Structure 1
Amino acid sequence: MRTTVRWATTLGLTATAVCGPLSGAALAEPGLAPTALYAPSVLVLTVGHGESAIATTPERAVTLSCAPRPLGTHPAAAPACAELRGVHGDFGALTSHEGLMCTKQYAPVVVTVDGVWQGQRVSYERTFSNDCMKNAFGTGVFSF
């Protein structure tokens, strides 16, 4: 049941994030060329407490669109998009914030990412040992 709720939430947010910007294109005047062509980059990020996404109900979900400009419900969309562009959308290549001290308390936090990055389907899941470690990793991307 939890997996069904997670996927329904993810698909609903993805559809909203993808279709919202596209609806403006239909309103453009006929005969006008688009000002810029870009590959879509629309992501839905979720976070929940638990050891895996299957056994965890998302507690928060945000959208992040990075093209043509950063927008979405992510609280730091511009820095998150810049950070993702720096690693070419490879969430595994994001690094931890240097010098940040975190406790060794074990309170697992699961982050998932589903969507499209520059036209390619993306699905990512990572479990952090606690909130501090999550916030230190990919400083702008997972800080929501």
Structure 2
Amino acid sequence: MTHISVKAVRAGLVTALVLLACAAPARAGGGHVAEDSWLMLTVSRGETPSTRQDGTLLRCDPPRGHRRAADACAELTAVDGRIADLPAKDVVCPMVFAPVTAHASGRWRGRPVDYTETFPNTCLLTARTGAVFALDTQ
């Protein structure tokens, strides 16, 4: 008859618990619920935000719903979802006045987001907001 010591059983149980804990999937976003980071994005011609209900829904945990979702989510992550804090790109844009208004509403890491800004043209919109407003509708 084989005898197993209590210490051996405890060591085996501890090892099994550690392996199970390590195998559990990590939560995306450093402990944030995956659906906490989403934005409804619109770009409209003119100086007033679109009143239409359509737009592009950007989700970031994992990135999807936007043609440049991975880039947009990475840029937003770098500024903790604060679109106004996105660093401007160093580009030369034509001095053409064809205003466009960008609007974003939703949640970032559980915090509400409501952003609206009018740009003189799409070149300046892209220079200022990067991939976030790089929508198919432009």
TM-score between both structures, scaled by the size of structure 2: 0.70
Relative to structure 1, is the Cα distance of residues 60 and 128 closer, same or farther in structure 2, using a 3 angstrom cutoff? Answer: farther
Q: Who is 1:66 aligned against?
A: 60
Distance in 1 (alpha carbons) for counterparts of 2:59 and 2:67: 12
The answer to whether the 8 A contact 2:48-2:101 is kept is yes
Q: How many residues matched?
A: 107
Higher Cα Rg, which structure: 2
1:76-95 Cα offsets, whole Å, 9 max, x none, are: 00010000000011111012
Distance in 2 (alpha carbons) for counterparts of 1:89 and 1:141: 10
Distance in 2 (alpha carbons) for counterparts of 1:58 and 1:135: 22
Coordinate RMSD, CA, aligned: 1.9
Distance in 1 (alpha carbons) for counterparts of 2:53 and 2:121: 15
Match of 2:48 among 45, 52, 55: 52
1:95-119 Cα offsets, whole Å, 9 max, x none, are: 2211x11111111100000111100
TM-score between both structures, scaled by the size of structure 1: 0.67
Unpaired stretches in structure 2, ≥5 consecutive residues: 1-23
Unpaired stretches in structure 1, ≥5 consecutive residues: 1-32
